[in-house]
Amino acid sequence: MPKLCANLTMLFNEVPFMERFAAAAKAGFRGVEFLFPYEYDKAQLSEALRKNNLVQVLHNMPAGNWAAGERGIGCHPQRSAEFREGVDRAIDYASALDCKQVNCLAGIRPPHVDPIDARETFIRNLQYAAPKFRDAGIKLLIEPINTRDIPGFFLNYTEQAADIIKAVGSDNLFIQYDIYHAQIMEGDLARTIEAHLPLIPHMQLADNPGRHEPGTGEINYLFLFRLLDRLGYAGWIGCEYKPATTTEAGLGWASAYLSAA
């Protein structure tokens, strides 16, 4: 059975953010993830998790100026010092929240930066970050993202992520496999998941088109869940989708999995 966690950035957005923890627990979730914790007090977040008996499954490293359209700085050659500061900040928050996984967004490649230079920068940054996170007991992940939702994003394909992990040479670098992004960029989901499963400790889901809940689009999630059971996948699956109406109205697809949580 899939182990689902609620993405609080996108789910239960009918209520203020700090109230979403209770809403997720009430709906049957036992874990949560969200983009960034940094604008909130660590103690306040930790108390919300404790009070609602929730696991903080994952959050992202600082990703530059999100409001201005930045989506990570991992591949930006001129911002390595800022990246390193972000490593320390992410470890500080993840440790306070007992979060065992942090995602590093590669970012949109600046137009003036050659793709080779962007790749080398990303590799160097990950070579710095991965052992830091390992020493803190935290897995570091990288996520391929589709170029329709984020034009120019540097990391787009599962095999590309695997090649970067190989080049980094760390045993503490993994893939966050987002099924929605992967369907758009490469498809062949079952074979790709099976081939790369040792590198995948965390997944995310949404249907396509529309990025709504499973059952609204073309992806056969029942088949994929059965495949993951057969393969012995033990990680969480983050529900990172835009509810077609409200979060609660759209949770029928997950009721069997949440009731078993």
**pLDDT 10s digits, 178-230:** 999 999 999 999 999 999 999 999 999 999 999 999 999 999 999 999 999 99
Q: Kindly state the tokens that stand for 42.
A: 């660590």
Pick from 14-28, 131-145, 247-261: least confident: 247-261
143 belongs to the catalytic site: yes
Q: Which of 82, 120, 240, 248 is catalytic?
A: 240
Query: Measured between alpha carbons, how far is 169 from 123 in angstroms, rounded to an integer?
Result: 9
Q: What is the pLDDT of residue 115?
A: 97
User: Which residues face 61 on adjacent strands?
Assistant: none
Question: pLDDT category, 79, cuts 50, 70, 90?
Answer: very high
Between CA 21 and CA 54 the distance in angstroms is 8
User: Residue 252: what pLDDT?
Assistant: 95
| pTM exceeds 0.85 for this model | yes
Task: Tell me the residue range of the domain where 107 lies.
Answer: 3-259
CA gap 130, 132 in Å, rounded: 5
Of 42-51, 97-106, 251-260, which gets the smallest average pLDDT? Answer: 251-260
Which residue among 14, 143, 159, 248 is the active-site one? 143
Number of domains in the chain: 1
Indicate whether 21 pLDDT > 50: yes
Average pLDDT in the 107-131 region? Answer: 98
The CATH number linked to 37 is: 3.20.20.150
d(CA 119, CA 196): 21
Residue 130: count of CB within 10 angstroms of its CB? 23
Residue 240 annotated as catalytic: yes
Using the predicted structure, report yes or no on whether residue 143 has a pLDDT greater than 80: yes
pLDDT at 1 (0 to 100): 85
Amino acid present at 236: W
Question: Element (H or E) spanning 237, and its range?
Answer: strand 236-239
Taking residues 118-143, report their average pLDDT.
98
Q: How far apart are the first and last CA of the chain?
A: 9
* Secondary structure E strands in 82-225: 101-104, 139-142, 173-178, 202-205
pLDDT above 90: residue 149: yes
φ/ψ (deg, to 5) at 222: -60, -45
